[in-house]
Amino acid sequence: MRTVLSVNLNAVAMLRNRRDLPWPSVVHFGRLALANGAGGLTVHPRPDERHVRFSDLPDLRALIDAEFPSAEFNIEGYPTETFLRLCEDARADQVTLVPDDPAQSTSDHGWNFAGEAERLRPVIARLKAGGARVSLFADPSPEGVDIAAELGADRIELYTGPYGATHSDETAATAAIEALRITAEAAGRHDLGVNAGHDLTIANLPALKAAVPEIAEVSIGHALIADALEFGFPETVRRFLAALNG
């Protein structure tokens, strides 16, 4: 199964936001990502706009519509009313719901599906009524995957942070991959698609894909932008695609 690479542009936006200047442009780097084989763009518009700004969303939507109509726009975030309206206005192809506190620097845990079920249920229904696919951020554990399916989610996104943290420990990496594999299998039993994201790199993608071949999409930002400093943005996108799909 070929896995889609969705390039997360938050790190590009964060660099831009260090100065009151229009560069680096998230639209320009979104165009480079898609022109070099990425299948989608991901953004996480946080409430304080410290990364992607709300005003970036219509520009990225316009880029995809005008130049890459087969690509997907994935918007991730915590489901406040403001966030939901941003997703609706930008006509997100996929919305990835994460249980982040607004002060968090990055997503670092999945949903408690049982505890948050009644909060998530109407949100999922609303987004799907608007035409978006809904993915729920999930810890590497099969617990609650059945609830995610019952709530109407289309996919889960495996939180791969614990796997990424094992970069210097082969034994721990093997255990982390096994947890992800078991969770993906549970998702498949409940007809949920599987995405993955967080701390994925050129080095650790092949083993993950070999163990969990059913991954439909990975969202990668930090490691991709870091590699782009050395190899350039277009070449880095191509390198990640090769690591992902051979």
DSSP 137-179: EE-SS-TTHHHHHHTT-SEEEEE-HHHHTTTT-HHHHHHHHHH
Q: Which residue range(s) make up the domain with 110?
A: 4-245
| pLDDT in the model for residue 109 | 80
User: How many domains does one find in the chain?
Assistant: 1
Q: Which of 44, 51, 157, 217 is catalytic?
A: 44
Contact 124, 154 (CB under 8 A): no
What is the percent of the chain where pLDDT is above 70?
Answer: 97
Residue 76 designated active-site: yes
How does residue 101 score in pLDDT terms, banded at 50, 70 and 90? confident
Q: How confident is the model at residue 246, as a pLDDT? A: 86
Q: Confidence class of residue 84 from pLDDT cuts 50, 70 and 90?
A: very high
The active-site residue out of 51, 72, 76, 217 is 76
In our burial notation (b when 16+ CB lie closer than 10 A, e otherwise), range 20-58 reads eeeebbbbebbbbbbebbbbbbbbbbbeeeebbbbebbe
- Tell me, what CATH number does 174's domain have? 3.20.20.70
Cα 199 from chain centroid (whole Å): 11
Beta carbons of 70 and 93 less than 8 angstroms apart: no
pLDDT of 188 higher than 70? yes
Q: Which residue has the tokens 């999922």?
A: 124
The model's pLDDT over 8-61, given as tens digits with 9 standing for 90+, comes to: 999 999 999 999 899 999 999 999 999 999 999 999 999 999 999 999 999 999
Handedness of CA 240, 241, 243, 244 (dihedral sign): positive
Residue 190 annotated among the catalytic residues of the structure: no
pLDDT of residue 96: 98
Model confidence, pTM: 0.96
| 246 burial type by CB count under 10 A (0-12 exposed, 13-18 middle, 19+ buried) | exposed
Average pLDDT of the segment spanning 65-71: 98
51, 72, 116, 198: the catalytic one is 198
Residue 44 annotated to the active site = yes
- The whole-number pLDDT of residue 103 equals 65
**pLDDT at residue 138, rounded to an integer:** 98
Query: Residue 204 pLDDT > 80, yes or no?
Result: yes
pLDDT for position 105: 59
